[in-house]
Amino acid sequence: MMLSDVMEDYLKVIYQLQQETDDRIKTSEIADELDVTSPTVTSMLEKLEERGLIDREKYRGVTLTDEGETVALEIVRHHRLLEAYLTEHLDYDWSEVHAEADRLEHHISEDFEARVADALDQPEVDPHGSPIPSADLEPPERPDGKSVVEFTEGDVVVVEEVADHDPDILSYLSDHGVEPGVELDILEVAPFGMITARASGRDDPVSLPEDVARHVRVTQPAELEQ
């Protein structure tokens, strides 16, 4: 099935939004994610529905069909493998790779994908901690982590995943040692949402405004041992 890059982008976004909720995905959510108008989204959803890639219910939103999910998983796999390759082999900073992978993900062959995966020793996660779908395109398990905003003063957590959409936020977090696998001591949670934490191995604490903290998913060490 030949699909345009834009169609694949829509399927990828719907897939990613579905990972955060068990509800159908609303037109407005897709519009916000892609920074387009709702009428533009509606027009594209009609095309995707005609091709059997989404299930759409008026006023209730959309979900991916099995075929739509398979397409989305392939694009997500391409994207996250490319992010890992650019970081590990081409010295890209993790704040730079999202946009580069967005440009390349639609245009690599299955052979290239396989060679990248082999060069990386079949990685399970990308540089931001997001799970990479397997070569057989089975959906990966949802990460167990919660947003760091759900924890409180005195908690000790481990960074599991960081959303990769905003390079400025990624640069800020990296500068303060907030990366997947790093332990964070939550020192203070202010009433207006500011979280102060200290990354393991760092002397200075880092301030995480709520809009930044929501990009960071964490789990408690006890949960990791289970």
Confidence label for 226 from pLDDT (cuts 50, 70 and 90):
very low
- CATH number, domain with residue 53: 1.10.10.10
Residue 74 falls within a domain, yes or no?
no
76 located within any domain: no
pLDDT at 191 over 90: no
How far apart CA 77 and CA 82 sit, in angstroms, is 8
Question: Which of 64, 79, 104 finishes a domain?
Answer: 64
pLDDT digits (tens, 9 = 90+) for 174-188: 999 999 999 999 999
Least confident range from 57-61, 103-107, 121-125: namely: 57-61
Mean pLDDT of 21-45: 95
| Res. 218 pLDDT band, cuts 50 70 90 | very high
Residue 207 counted as domain residue = yes
Report whether pLDDT(143) > 80.
no
Tell whether 91 is covered by a domain.
no
The secondary structure of the chain, three-state, reads CCCCHHHHHHHHHHHHHHCCCCCCECHHHHHHHHCCCHHHHHHHHHHHHHCCCEEEECCCEEEECHHHHHHHHHHHHHHHHHHHHHHHHCCCCCCCHHHHHHHHCCCCCHHHHHHHHHHCCCCCECCCCCECCCCCCCCCCCCCCEEHHHCCCCCEEEEEEECCCCHHHHHHHHHCCCCCCCEEEEEEECCCCCEEEEECCCCCCEEECHHHHCCEEEECHHHHHC
Give pTM, 2 decimals: 0.90
* Count of the separate structural domains present in the chain: 2
43 domain residue, yes or no: yes
pLDDT of residue 141: 84
In a domain, 102, yes or no: no
Structure-model confidence comparison of residues 59 and 219, the more confident one: 219
Segment 31-51 shows an average pLDDT of 96
Does the pLDDT at position 222 exceed 70?
A: no
Q: Is residue 168 part of a domain?
A: yes
**Which structure tokens are listed for 159?**
């960074």
pLDDT score of 133: 96
Full residue range of the structural domain in which residue 186 is found: 146-224
Query: What pLDDT score was predicted for residue 121?
Result: 97
Per the prediction, the chain carries an average pLDDT of 93
CATH at 153: 2.30.30.90
Task: Note whether residue 170 is domain-resident.
Answer: yes
* Contact present, 171 and 164 (Cβ < 8 Å): no
Structure tokens at 204: 């200075």
Q: Which of 48, 64, 80 is the last residue of a domain?
A: 64
Q: Which of 33, 64, 95 is the last residue of a domain?
A: 64
pLDDT of residue 117: 97
Q: Does the pLDDT of residue 71 top 90, yes or no?
A: yes
